[in-house]
Amino acid sequence: MNRIYLDHAATTPIHPNVIAEMTRAMGEYYGNPSSIHSFGRLAHEQLELARQVVADSLQVDPHEIIFTSGGTESDNMAIIETAFSRQNEGRHLITTAIEHPAVMQTMKYLETQNFEVTYLPVDEKGNISLADFDYALREETTLVSIMFGNNEIGNLLPIKEIGERLREHPAYFHSDAVQAYGNQEIRPHELGIDLLSVSAHKLNGPKGVGFLFKSDKIKLPSLFHGGEQEEKRRPGTENLAGILGMKKAIERLTIEKQKENNQQYLEYKKQILSFLDEEKIAYKVNGDPSNSLAHIMNLHLVGVPNNLLLMKLDLKNIAVSTGSACTAGAVDPSHVLEAIYGKGDSAVTESIRISFGWGVTHQQIKTFCQGLVTSIKK
């Protein structure tokens, strides 16, 4: 059975080298990293080696890396800790209308706790306006949370420009980089980012592990209590096998490899659009192709209900999606596309997300294109 997986923005297959590393870790490093005997010291050494690899990938200090269960926990930790610890300085927060649910729902929760949140709108290409940001920023703004790259349409947000604006402002700057890390060169200190969230399962690593970068420049009390682990910020015995799996996944993604991958993904996009043009399929690319993550494309296939199309493709053993995996099973339309087009627009229910990653080939893209066109014409 030839199965084609084009939903890498939702999660990625674990690379064999990562599986091998995790298997080795579970067999060899079973000591508690906090124990003082030789088994514990060996595990602790491996833990800190992994922390160094993560830190080097961002060019930050190792103690600025906090291991977590993934992007959602990291987002919640950064946003909630900042909001409550700084509420006496101000209760105003800024984010965008196209954030991942891990940020959006956390902001909605804070609104029930008497915080005021400004959701920056986007234009017809899914981009925010820096003028809107400048207008929204206040003296009492304590946190700005803006994603590095969007998980549905792929748009890159103006992180550098916002970081520059916040250098002389007391607000902390958080960025959800779950989709961008491993595809973009990210240097938090250079960009003025104080907090950054990452998840391993988006880069061919294991599920249930990730990290939060927290700059030494900011102070945050911990939400959790009970142990000394992770700079006292996340007490509890570390998931060492998962962390070492993430380390192996990160080691694969050198800057050169990222560039090579992105070039390949851009070729896949051209291949798909050329096929649709040849078959005279009516479509529109959602988002801004000139300012996008290479591995994500979102297409409005005019007149084609996306729920029906996904089922037809699934029957052909082809996996794509309609948006964020965190809304799987929900009947709600994409809030990202609604932010671009407005509620009730046909694009919201006629769009699919195609996302590439390790293991995808030109032949698979060709087979996908044939299956897509056949399904649309039927």
CATH number for the domain spanning 46: value is 3.40.640.10
In tens, the pLDDT along 110-130 reads 999 999 999 999 999 999 999
Q: Report the C-alpha gap between 59 and 172 in whole angstroms.
A: 19
76, 175: one domain: yes
Residue 235's pLDDT is: 86
Last residue of a domain, one of 252, 287, 314: 252
331, 190: one domain: no
Residue 228's pLDDT is: 77
Residue 366 has pLDDT above 80, yes or no: yes
Task: Kindly state the helix (H) or strand (E) to which residue 66 belongs, with its residue range.
Answer: strand 65-68
> What distance lies between CA 30 and its chain's CA centroid?
30
The arithmetic mean of pLDDT across residues 59-81, rounded, is: 97
Residue 223's pLDDT is: 81
Residue 148's pLDDT is: 98
Q: Report the C-alpha gap between 33 and 238 in whole angstroms.
A: 7
Residue 232's pLDDT is: 74
212, 283: one domain: no
User: Under a CB-based contact definition with an 8 Å cutoff, are residues 142 and 93 in contact?
Assistant: yes
Residue 227's pLDDT is: 80
137, 267: one domain: no
Residue 329's pLDDT is: 54
258, 243: one domain: no
Residue 323's pLDDT is: 74
Residue 207's pLDDT is: 98
Residue 124's pLDDT is: 97
174, 312: one domain: no
225, 326: one domain: no
Q: Between these two residues, 228 and 208, which has the higher pLDDT value? A: 208
Residue 328 has pLDDT above 60, yes or no: no
Q: Report the C-alpha gap between 245 and 237 in whole angstroms.
A: 16
The arithmetic mean of pLDDT across residues 13-26, rounded, is: 98
264, 137: one domain: no
Q: Between these two residues, 323 and 146, which has the higher pLDDT value? A: 146
The arithmetic mean of pLDDT across residues 161-165, rounded, is: 98
110, 248: one domain: yes
Last residue of a domain, one of 252, 284, 305: 252
Residue 231 has pLDDT above 80, yes or no: no
**Is 369 marked active-site?**
no
CATH for 291: 3.90.1150.10
Residue 222's pLDDT is: 85
267, 217: one domain: no
193, 218: one domain: yes
199, 339: one domain: no
Phi, psi of 349 (to 5 degrees): -110, 10
Query: Total domain count for the chain?
Result: 2
In tens, the pLDDT along 141-154 reads 999 999 999 999 99
Residue 230 has pLDDT above 90, yes or no: no
Mean pLDDT of the chain: 95
Share of the chain above pLDDT 70, in %: 98
Last residue of a domain, one of 252, 270, 288: 252
Catalytic residue among 19, 55, 273, 326: 326
Choose among 295, 368, 270, 306: nearest CA to 5: 368
The arithmetic mean of pLDDT across residues 9-18, rounded, is: 98
Residue 244's pLDDT is: 98
In tens, the pLDDT along 262-316 reads 999 999 999 999 999 999 999 999 999 999 999 999 999 999 999 999 999 999 9
In tens, the pLDDT along 182-226 reads 999 999 999 999 999 999 999 999 999 999 999 999 998 888 888
Kindly tell me the burial class for residue 19, based on how many C-beta atoms sit within 10 Å of its own C-beta (0-12, 13-18, 19 or more): middle
- Under the banding of pLDDT at 50, 70 and 90, the label for residue 1 is low
Q: Give the domain extent around 130.
A: 16-252
Choose among 313, 338, 330, 376: nearest CA to 6: 313
